[in-house]
C-alpha cells in the first residue's frame, strides 16, 4: 500500500462549536459537518493516487457515511483532539505498511481531486514533510508524511511553523505547498463567509452537499 489518507472527524454533535457564535443552531452545525464530510469523501473517491482512506471518528453516523464510501474506520476517543485522532490514523497506516500518509481535514469541502493528485505526483522516498497551510499561512490544513510516522502531528494555532520545525528536528526535508482548494477550512463565521464567497464563484458541482446544507442553514 502506497498512500493512505487520514481523515479525523469529530462527533457531529460536537462539531463547529464556534459557529454557534455566528447564529448556527446545533442541527445546522450537524447538517453542515455531514455535508462537508460527504464532499470530502466524494473528492477522495475521485483521486487516482490514493490507495486507501481511514476516517478516525467516534461518531456512529460518520462511521456509517465513511464505510458507505469504502473508507476504513478507526475509533476515536471523545476526549482526543485533532492531533491525537490524526496519530491514531497514522498508527493504522503504519500497521498496514503504507509508505505515505496524507492527513486531510474533514471540513474542507471544496478540495479538488486533481489538486490532490498533483500533490501526490512528487512523492519522495523520504524522510519528507509537505505542509499545506490554511489561508492565513499560520495553521496546517494538510500534511503529507513520508514515512507516515516521520513526525507526530501537532495541529492548532501556528501549527504551520511548528510542523516545519518538527520536520527539521527529525532530519526530514520540508516544503510548503499551497493548494487553493484546501485553503478554506471552516471553523469560524468568517471562514464560513469566505467559503460561501468562494463557492459562489466555483462550478456548481463543487461542494454539492455543503451547498445544500448551507441553503437550509438559519443564521441570525
Residue-wise pLDDT for 149-159, tens only, equals: 999 999 988 99
Cβ neighbourhood burial of 190 (10 Å; 0-12, 13-18, 19+):
exposed
Q: How many domains does the chain have?
A: 1
**pTM (two decimals):** 0.92
Examine residue 76 and state whether it is found in any structural domain, yes or no. Answer: yes
pLDDT of residue 25: 83
167 alpha-carbon distance from chain centroid: 20
220 part of a folded domain? no
Radius of gyration of the chain (CA): 16
Dihedrals phi, psi of 72, to nearest 5 degrees? -80, 160
Average pLDDT over the chain, rounded to whole? Answer: 91
Query: In this structure, is residue 209 part of a structural domain?
Result: yes
Is there a domain that residue 70 lies in? yes
90-137 pLDDT, tens per residue?
999 999 999 999 999 988 899 999 999 999 998 989 899 999 998 888
Q: What is the pLDDT of residue 18?
A: 66
pLDDT at 17: 67
The three cell numbers locating residue 186:
471552516
CATH number at residue 148: 3.90.550.10
Residues 155-165 have a mean pLDDT of 95
Cα dihedral across residues 148, 150, 156, 160: positive or negative:
negative
Q: How far apart are CA 202 and CA 65, in angstroms?
A: 25
Average pLDDT for residues 149-174, to the nearest whole number?
96
Q: Is 211 among the domain residues?
A: yes
* C-alpha–C-alpha distance, residues 139 and 147, integer Å: 22
Q: Is 116 within a domain? A: yes
Q: Rounded distance, CA 188 to CA 144, Å?
A: 25
**207 in a structural domain:** yes
Reduced to 3 states (helix: H, G, I; strand: E, B; else coil), residue 132 is strand
Q: What Å distances lie between residue 39 and 26, 45, 138, 197, 206, CA to CA?
A: 20, 10, 24, 17, 8
Whether the per-residue pLDDT at 16 is higher than 70: the answer is no
Dist. CA 62–CA 108, nearest whole Å: 16
pLDDT at 194: 85
Range of the domain at 103: 3-215
Among 67-76, 103-112, 121-130, 198-207, whose mean pLDDT is lowest? 198-207
Amino acid at each position: 500500500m502506497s498512500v493512505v489518507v487520514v481523515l479525523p472527524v469529530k462527533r457531529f454533535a460536537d462539531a463547529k462549536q464556534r459557529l454557534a457564535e455566528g447564529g448556527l443552531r446545533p442541527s445546522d452545525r450537524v447538517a453542515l459537518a455531514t455535508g462537508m464530510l460527504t464532499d470530502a469523501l466524494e473528492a477522495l473517491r475521485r483521486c487516482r493516487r490514493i490507495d486507501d482512506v481511514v476516517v478516525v471518528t467516534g461518531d456512529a453516523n460518520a462511521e456509517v457515511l465513511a464505510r458507505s464510501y469504502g473508507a476504513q474506520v478507526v475509533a476515536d476517543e471523545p476526549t482526543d483532539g485533532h492531533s491525537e485522532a490524526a496519530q491514531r490514523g497514522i498508527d493504522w497506516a503504519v500497521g498496514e505498511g503504507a509508505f505515505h500518509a496524507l492527513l486531510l481535514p474533514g471540513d474542507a469541502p471544496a478540495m479538488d481531486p486533481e489538486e490532490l493528485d498533483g500533490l501526490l505526483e512528487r512523492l519522495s522516498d523520504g524522510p519528507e514533510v509537505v505542509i499545506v497551510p490554511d489561508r492565513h499561512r499560520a495553521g496546517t490544513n494538510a500534511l503529507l508524511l513520508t514515512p507516515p510516522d516521520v513526525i507526530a502531528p501537532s495541529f492548532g494555532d501556528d501549527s504551520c511553523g511548528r510542523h516545519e520545525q518538527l520536520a527539521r528536528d527529525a532530519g526530514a526535508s520540508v516544503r510548503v505547498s499551497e493548494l487553493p482548494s484546501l485553503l478554506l477550512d471552516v471553523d469560524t463565521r468568517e471562514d464560513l463567509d469566505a467559503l460561501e464567497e468562494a463557492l459562489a464563484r466555483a462550478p456548481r458541482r463543487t461542494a454539492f452537499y455543503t451547498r445544500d446544507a448551507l441553503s437550509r442553514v438559519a443564521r441570525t
